[in-house]
Amino acid sequence: MYSNSFNIKKITCLIAASIILVLTSCKDTSSTLSDVLVGDEVASRTGFYFDTVISISIFSLEKDGNYSFKERADKILDGCMQISDRYDKLLSAEKENSDIWNINNSNQKETVVSKDTFELIETSIKYANLSNGAFNPSLGSIISLWNFTSNDNQIIPDKKDIEKNIKHTDFCNVIVNKDKSSIIISDNDTKINLGAIAKGFIADKIKDYLCKEKVKSAIINLGGNVLLVGSKPNGSDFKVGIEKPFEGSSTYACVVNASDKSIVTSGVYERYFEKDDKIYHHILDPKTGYPVENSLYSVSIISDKSVDGDALSTACFVLGLDKGMELIEKTKGVEAVFITNDYKLHTSSGFPKIK
């Protein structure tokens, strides 16, 4: 599942040798790009999970016995890939016998799920409530009518199918029982899809693991969702570029300096297709079942936890500039930059100074 591209590089110079990690997978260009690094060593691994390219880079580790940096980092990166594989198999809506697949195919019977799945479903419902349903974890039946992941078969779904399925997307149909760690779907045609929040959740779990393994400096990049562990080895902030929509993955709208933060973007340009001069992108309006039509090209969220940034980036995109910004301003500990289709940047009140 992953390329065993472990490597150690001695990075000797400072400014000139900053490395730009660029990840792209088919049309799924990474929405945020991380410009690293000033240190002596780096160990990186890439893989393909959650329908996207992921990459984890470790720059600094606490010393442990006689093991070299390479030996320890290699083992830890193995662990990261195992965690990714486990969550991919647990949270995917498409993979047979995943927790989500089991719920969606339960015929309204109670389904016991893992603690992690339960936690994520609960968090999803929290954000569905917080955003008045703009972020909707039960859009599964509508999402599966569209195809934004491969270049084949990109057709606009039949209007009748959208109208039929949109009636079965109420997230209140997802009933949770914490004591039993179980889920019941009260409407058999309601299907869960956690694609708008799962990567953030998994990134947090990978970070917990890295911290437990005494990693001091690292970048977790799940298809453009970036989560920083610590700062650069020399103590300065990482620089994270926020992609300029439709301009390719190495052109930035702005660069954010940050340590220990999550930077997650939802953007129209990440997955879309064109038909008759119109762009059909992957962020859907739960009221209509069609791609959201508003003035936005992207929303990027800075937060401590990536699960919050992931849910909020999707929610704010659907809510639009004004209501989305309102939500950010009233939510503690998160900042956002909205990029409108005139390429203007709109930042929340505490957003770090833009470069």
**DSSP sequence for 135-180:** S-TT-HHHHTTS--SSSTT--PPPHHHHHHHHTT--GGGEEEETTT
Identify the CA nearest to 283 among candidates 296, 263, 266, 301: 266
Q: Which of 111, 117, 136, 298 binds ligand AMP (CB under 6 A)?
A: 136
User: Given candidates 230, 241, 245, 286, which one binds ligand AMP under the rule CB under 6 A?
Assistant: 286
Q: How far is the CB of 264 from ligand AMP (least distance, A)?
A: 7
Cα–Cα distance, 43 to 74 (Å, whole number): 7
Cα–Cα dist 299/291, whole Å: 15
Q: What φ, ψ does residue 82 adopt, rounded to 5°?
A: -65, -40
Contact with ligand AMP (CB under 6 A) among 221, 298, 303, 313: 313
Instruction: Tell me the closest approach of the beta carbon of residue 231 to ligand AMP, in angstroms.
Output: 26
> Which lies closer to Mg ion via its Cβ, residue 37 or residue 196?
196
**Footprint of ligand AMP on 61-100 (CB under 6 A):** none
Please provide residue 125's backbone torsions phi and psi, each rounded to the nearest 5 degrees: -65, -35
Decide which of Mg ion, ligand AMP, none touches 228; Cβ closer than 5 to 8 Å per partner kind: none
If binding is defined by CB under 6 A, does position 284 make contact with ligand AMP? yes
Stretch that binds ligand AMP, among 6-14, 65-73, 107-115, 131-139 (CB under 6 A): 131-139
Query: Are residues 296 and 320 in contact, defined by beta-carbon separation less than 8 angstroms?
Result: yes
Q: Residues 319, 167: contact at Cβ < 8 Å?
A: no
Site string for ligand AMP, 145-164 (x = CB under 6 A): ---x----------------
- Using CB under 6 A as the binding rule, whether residue 32 contacts ligand AMP is answered as no
| Min dist. Cβ of residue 265 to ligand AMP (A) | 8
Told to check if 195 binds ligand AMP by CB under 6 A, we report yes
Beta bridge partners of 32: 242
# of chain residues touching ligand AMP (CB under 6 A): 18
Shortest spacing between CB 127 and ligand AMP, in angstroms:
9
294 scored as a contact of ligand AMP (CB under 6 A): no
User: Judged by CB under 6 A, which stretch of 17-25, 35-43, 245-253, 313-321 contacts ligand AMP?
Assistant: 313-321
**Binding test (CB under 6 A) with ligand AMP, winner from 32, 52, 294, 314:** 314
* Residue range at the interface with ligand AMP (CB under 6 A); choices 12-20, 101-109, 150-158, 281-289: 281-289
**How many C-beta neighbours within 10 Å does residue 343 have?**
12
Question: Which partner, Mg ion, ligand AMP, none, binds residue 131 by CB below 5 to 8 Å per kind?
Answer: none
**Ranges within 316-335 binding ligand AMP (CB under 6 A):** 318
CB 256 within 8 A of CB 263: yes
Size of the chain in residues: 355
41 binds ligand AMP (CB under 6 A): no
* 193 binds ligand AMP, rule: CB under 6 A: yes
Helix pair angle (69-91, 115-130), 10° resolution: 70
- What are the CA-CA distances from residue 194 to residues 16, 124, 160, 179, 266 (Å)? 40, 8, 24, 22, 14
Q: Which residues contact 293 (CB under 8 A, 6 or more apart)?
A: 285
User: Which C-beta is closer to ligand AMP: that of 98 or that of 136?
Assistant: 136
At 134 the three-state DSSP class reads coil
Interface residues with ligand AMP (CB under 6 A) are: 135-136, 139, 143, 148, 193, 195-196, 266, 271, 282-284, 286, 310, 313-314, 318
